[in-house]
Amino acid sequence: MFFYGCMTVLLLSCKIAPKEIQYGTDMCHSCQMTIVEKTHASEIVTKKGRAYKYDAIECMLQDLDKRDVSKIELFLVTDYSNPATLIKAKEATFLVSKEIKSPMGANLSAFANKEAINVPGEQFNWDEINDYIK
């Protein structure tokens, strides 16, 4: 009985799912700034269920250069139109626009719906934004 209880706890603790960002408390894994802006945060979750949180999309993208991305299960970004809502980065449209400032100065935002973009700027998909930031 004890064995099954331990296995259940172990399996639940390794759940591969986004972890809620505690704005004003959680620190960016890359730059160590406190995550406060609900419109630009991002997160990755490894295949083992460990989450890494970032205050800006550009922090996450720069941190990916130091990681084996094959070990990452989820790439998540905040939908700028729906603050504090994480969406799949590979399905997002990214916008670089001087009209929308991001925490680290790249002026980078993500949108779940391309039609929600109502300011001028350059639009990118996941692969393109990775190349652009590098």
| Domains: count for the chain | 1
Does residue 76 belong to any structural domain of this protein? yes
Is the residue at 11 inside a domain?
no
pLDDT over threshold 60, residue 1: no
pLDDT given for residue 13 in this prediction: 54
Residue 26 belongs to some domain of the structure: yes
Q: What are 20-42's pLDDT values in tens digits?
A: 999 999 999 999 999 999 999 99
pLDDT at res. 76:
98
What average pLDDT does the segment 109-127 reach? 97
pTM: 0.87
Residue 64 lies in a domain: yes
Distance CA 27, CA 85 (A): 18
9 falls within a domain: no
- For residue 83, give the 3-state DSSP assignment: coil
Matching residue, tokens 């692969």? 127
Q: With respect to residue 5, please indicate whether it lies within any of the assigned structural domains.
A: no
10 is a domain residue: no
> Three-state SS string across 3-45, please?
HHHHHHHHHHHCCCCCCCCCCCCCECCCCCCECCCCCCCEEEE
pLDDT in tens, 45-95: 999 999 999 999 999 999 999 999 999 999 999 999 999 999 999 999 999
Q: What domain range is 68 assigned to?
A: 17-133
